[in-house]
Structure 1
Amino acid sequence: MAILKKIDPAYLESICKILGDTMNGLTGTEISKYLSECNISDPKINSTKWKKLYDALNLKQNEDKCANNLIFFIQHVMRPSRHFDNATWFNEIRNKLNIVLSFEGLELEETGIIKRITAIKTLTEAEERAINLRKVLIDRKIHNDVLLFCKAELLVDNYFHAVFEATKSIAEKIRNKTSLTTDGSELIDQAFSFKGKIPHLALNNLMTESEESEQKGFMNLLKGIFGTFRNTTAHAPKITWTIDEQDALDILSTISLIHRKLDKAIEAKKMYEGKL
């Protein structure tokens, strides 16, 4: 890794407040453990979690005259394999960290690796994007589950990450309704396939050729959306490209349609098994 300039103390403080948050951050034991694993000394000046973390990381980057070990610590803490059973926490903390890191020209990817991006000077532009996008989507009567992704932290560079996160919410809803644990095309096939069996989810009664065609078409629509934005093996974007506002509106409108269809879907297998 190239030598990284020291993180501004104000930004470092914000990072430590996120990781050491009283309600939703790391425990004191976890902080001590991760510092030790990264060979970062705890000066033991403060007992408050975020201050303890700040003291240790700031001292380390001042000793090193660079932020490399500080960045390694964040990557170590945010390694996805640590949080496989709490994806909600991982995504929430990652989004908060990325707001701060973006001012330093850095971004924590879903893989847990921090990469360089173009630094921003203010969140005003991203906030304006979020407000405008949300307003237009509300005018279009977009599903509430899609509006959740009109956040400034997802719109710092362009609209890609908002669309990507909205796409992931489709799979999450399917898993919640079916108790399945797979992803991508496998999840779609398991949830909606009906040949010779009762599907987990059905858009209709599947009594006519037309109704069967609707079910098949919906499955193909889902696979197209997933295939465009998901790498189901790595659970990360296949590629990050620039998406402008108009493209985002069109794609999010399609995702809204999918959410409405899922809300109305018949939980056929649960009904058949008497679980509803």
Structure 2
Amino acid sequence: MASQIAPFSSQHLEAACRVLADTAQGLTGTQIGRLLQEVQVADSSPDMTKWKRLFNALAGAQNQHKVGNHLIMFINRAMNPVSYASNPGAFAWRRDELNVVLAFSGFYVREDGKVGYADKANTLDEARARAGRLKAALESRTVHAEVLNYCRAELMEENYFHAVFEATKGVAERIRQLSGLSGDGADLVNKAFAGQQPVLALKTLTSESEKSEQKGFANLLVGLFGAVRNPLAHAAKTNWPMSEQDALDILTLVSLIHRKLDGVTRLAAVPA
């Protein structure tokens, strides 16, 4: 990378700082302070909210030195893969979001955590596409976060077959977490949602319509496992082609299922 990088606009710098210091997925205040010290940037407002603190520090350095190098140096250190050995999901999220922001300035974060050059993006759709067309399409639909949690790496590689496989496996895992049950597939679904005493309920099950919805949801889950997850588990990728449109439709269905699971209530103890 060149010795001098043109200063970033305040909008681009702020967007990068909002990702790096995101409330839920970003760096901690302690990490921000340490990294600023490492890149020799004055921590001018340590008592402010995280993103404003980081923005003020980097903007101050940029104004003083008339270059944008300090943001790049900060990202290079913040995205060192060694720091994410126990939390690769955090690395993936930060890299994805930084790549959308940095695309507008002609940069991207590589797999090794270092910033490299890229063609500048002019639109949000173009910037999102840098993180993968399918992932961009899912985000435009506000897909449930649990979908991406289980197949983020596959989406980045546009590996549709395995993205769908991992996402459907994730549905079963979430049902196990919510219910305390073991097992898989139709057996797991029936124990969790079917019968007179289901472990999990979408609603109160006090009316016929609610009972009908519960039964329909269980059938939908069984169908997902039977028509999608099970064939993928037993078929070679070359024998089970997965188009981008098919993957988008299936993952959107998985997103709907996760939203339904968000509202379930655990009614019964796990059967012995």
TM-score, normalised with respect to structure 1: 0.51
1:96: Cα distance to partner?
Answer: 1.1
Tell me if the contact between 2:104 and 2:127 (Cα under 8 Å) persists in the aligned partners.
no
Q: State the partner residue of 1:50.
A: 51
Note the aligned Cα RMSD (angstroms). Answer: 5.0
Q: State the partner residue of 2:34.
A: 33
Q: State the partner residue of 1:161.
A: 156
Structure 2 CA distance, aligned partners of 1:32 and 1:89?
A: 19
Tell me if the contact between 1:16 and 1:53 (Cα under 8 Å) persists in the aligned partners.
yes
Tell me if the contact between 2:164 and 2:247 (Cα under 8 Å) persists in the aligned partners.
no
1:162: Cα distance to partner?
Answer: 5.0
CA 39–131 in structure 1, closer or farther in 2 if over 3 Å, else same: closer
Tell me if the contact between 1:166 and 1:252 (Cα under 8 Å) persists in the aligned partners.
no
Is 1:20 paired with 2:15?
no
Q: State the partner residue of 2:104.
A: 103
Tell me if the contact between 2:44 and 2:57 (Cα under 8 Å) persists in the aligned partners.
yes
Tell me if the contact between 1:163 and 1:252 (Cα under 8 Å) persists in the aligned partners.
no
Structure 1 CA distance, aligned partners of 2:11 and 2:92?
A: 23
Structure 1 CA distance, aligned partners of 2:161 and 2:94?
A: 17
Unpaired stretches in structure 1, ≥5 consecutive residues: 135-143, 155-159, 178-217, 225-245, 257-276
Structure 2 CA distance, aligned partners of 1:248 and 1:124?
A: 17
Tell me if the contact between 1:163 and 1:251 (Cα under 8 Å) persists in the aligned partners.
no
1:148: Cα distance to partner?
Answer: 4.6
CA 250–48 in structure 1, closer or farther in 2 if over 3 Å, else same: closer
Structure 2 CA distance, aligned partners of 1:105 and 1:148?
A: 29
Is 1:6 paired with 2:1?
no
1:22: Cα distance to partner?
Answer: 2.3
CA 251–23 in structure 1, closer or farther in 2 if over 3 Å, else same: closer
Structure 1 CA distance, aligned partners of 2:136 and 2:77?
A: 36
CA 252–68 in structure 1, closer or farther in 2 if over 3 Å, else same: same
Structure 2 CA distance, aligned partners of 1:58 and 1:132?
A: 30
Structure 2 CA distance, aligned partners of 1:161 and 1:52?
A: 31
Structure 2 CA distance, aligned partners of 1:60 and 1:165?
A: 43
CA 67–166 in structure 1, closer or farther in 2 if over 3 Å, else same: farther
CA 66–51 in structure 1, closer or farther in 2 if over 3 Å, else same: same
Spell out, residue by residue over 1:40-70, the C-alpha distance to the aligned partner (whole angstroms, 9 max, x if none): 1112375221111001111112222211222
Spell out, residue by residue over 1:178-223, the C-alpha distance to the aligned partner (whole angstroms, 9 max, x if none): xxxxxxxxxxxxxxxxxxxxxxxxxxxxxxxxxxxxxxxx999869
CA 110–174 in structure 1, closer or farther in 2 if over 3 Å, else same: farther
